[in-house]
């Protein structure tokens, strides 16, 4: 794979990933007149939960549901420059122009105990709600230059390039000062909240370990302390032994519906070998992931005879904390509980985080097996 790094007109980084080393040289310039890139997000800590919340008011002005001929993720043309200066591309990654987390160029990022000194006076001038700049990094990943397709329709070779790009960016963001966790994900479908229909995903470099990951890590630590074994490894063994919720598998990966699934459609893709993150996957494991994932996405689209809206996100180990208990997995879930029915997060889920499943996990797994 060939990796080419360039800059956009406002100073943001853009990286081209080409599977063919003989692909055209990536040297097109961004001709737009853009102001310098200066992300201005803020973080405030909720005094009741202790969780950080990003305040990114500038995102209100981001591009919203443009027509296909004005898509900012399509290749540039002579009369319409976009976020990607090239006339064509394989896979491309660039810094988000409207980031939730972002470090302004040239600004030093404190780490460790130094962060305490960066806490501002706090909201309303007090100390009850601490505040500080939301440093970190948000990137956009375009899977293909073809606007009218989806990840499920990628060739295996192109999907493999995406996997390598995810791993490359995970390693790079993990080495970025201030980043504590890296999350690669794809939102697909307007029902999920997608505002740009070009096939793409995102990568977040968070300046903290996310609340969900912290809870999962704590649960894994308790299980290991009691049983001396990795929690997800025991879950994987149990699912494979039962078989009732396994959708598909191969030598290196198993896809199954969790026994306590929260969403109407929810599938976990788990490698057989315990690895902390995407960069740790071997070439064989990356090769084996691609056909299984493409097959799963095809089944999901056939489930209700329509393109399934979904979120697909990689759960990776935090950059520095508790990596030895982590086990990489991809979680895919959908809000669609029927051909014309959405699951809305109502009082119990939204208010108290107590989930009520709408469908039987075993039935979902059976249907997905039948659709293979």
Query: Catalytic amino acids?
Result: 200
Integer Cα distance of 298 and 153 in angstroms: 8
Q: What is the DSSP string of 242-311?
A: H-TTEEEE-SSEEEE--TT--SSEEEEEEESS--SSGGGS-HHHHHHHHHHHHHHHHHHHHHTTSPPPEE
> In the sheet where 310-315 sits, what is the strand order?
2-7, 13-18, 91-95, 137-142, 200-206, 181-188, 310-315, 329-334, 265-271, 253-256, 246-249
Integer Cα distance of 92 and 11 in angstroms: 16
Residue 81 · residue 72 · CB < 8 Å: no
Q: Describe the crossing of helices 156-174 and 283-303 by its angle, rounded to 10 degrees.
A: 120
Structure tokens at 56: 């990114």
Structure tokens at 111: 């780490």
The DSSP output letter for 175 is T
**Pick from 315, 317, 350: nearest CA to 333:** 315
Distance between start and end Cα atoms, the chain: 31
Integer Cα distance of 89 and 311 in angstroms: 24
Residue labelled with tokens 């459609």: 265
Integer Cα distance of 150 and 143 in angstroms: 8
Cα dihedral angle (295, 296, 302, 303), rounded to 10 degrees? Answer: 160
Residue labelled with tokens 């493409």: 294
The DSSP output letter for 103 is P
């Amino acid at each position: 794979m060939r990796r080419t790094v360039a800059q956009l007109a406002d100073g943001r980084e853009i990286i081209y990933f080409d599977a063919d080393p003989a692909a055209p040289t990536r040297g097109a310039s961004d001709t737009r007149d853009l102001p310098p890139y200066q992300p201005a997000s803020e973080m405030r800590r909720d005094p009741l939960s202790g969780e950080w919340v990003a305040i990114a008011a500038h995102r209100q002005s981001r591009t919203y549901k443009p027509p296909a001929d004005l898509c900012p993720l399509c290749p540039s043309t002579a009369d319409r420059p976009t976020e990607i200066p090239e006339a064509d591309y394989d896979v491309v990654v660039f810094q988000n122009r409207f980031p939730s987390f972002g470090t302004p160029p040239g600004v030093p990022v404190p780490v460790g105990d130094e962060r305490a000194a960066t806490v501002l006076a706090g909201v309303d001038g007090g100390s009850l709600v601490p505040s500080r700049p939301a440093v970190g990094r948000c990137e956009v990943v375009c899977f293909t230059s073809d606007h009218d397709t989806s990840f499920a329709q990628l060739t295996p070779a192109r999907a493999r390039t995406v996997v390598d790009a995810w791993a490359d960016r995970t390693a790079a963001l993990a080495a970025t000062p201030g980043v504590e966790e890296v999350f690669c994900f794809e939102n697909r479908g307007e029902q999920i909240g997608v505002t740009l229909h070009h096939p793409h995903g995102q990568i977040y470099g968070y300046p903290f370990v996310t609340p969900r990951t912290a809870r999962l890590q704590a649960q894994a630590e308790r299980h290991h302390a009691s049983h001396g074994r990795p929690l997800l490894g025991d879950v994987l063994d149990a699912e494979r032994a039962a078989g009732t919720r396994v959708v598909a598998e191969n030598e290196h990966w198993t896809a199954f519906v969790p026994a306590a699934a929260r969403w109407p459609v929810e599938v976990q893709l788990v490698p057989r070998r315990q690895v902390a993150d995407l960069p740790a996957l071997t070439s064989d494991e990356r090769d084996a992931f691609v056909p299984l994932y493409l097959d799963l996405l095809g089944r999901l689209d056939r489930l209700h005879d329509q393109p399934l809206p979904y979120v697909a996100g990689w759960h990776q180990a935090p950059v520095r904390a508790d990596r030895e208990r982590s086990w990489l997995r991809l979680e895919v879930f959908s809000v669609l509980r029927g051909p014309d029915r959405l699951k809305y997060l109502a009082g119990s889920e939204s208010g108290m985080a107590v989930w009520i499943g709408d469908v039987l996990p075993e039935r979902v797994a059976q249907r997905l097996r039948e659709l293979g």
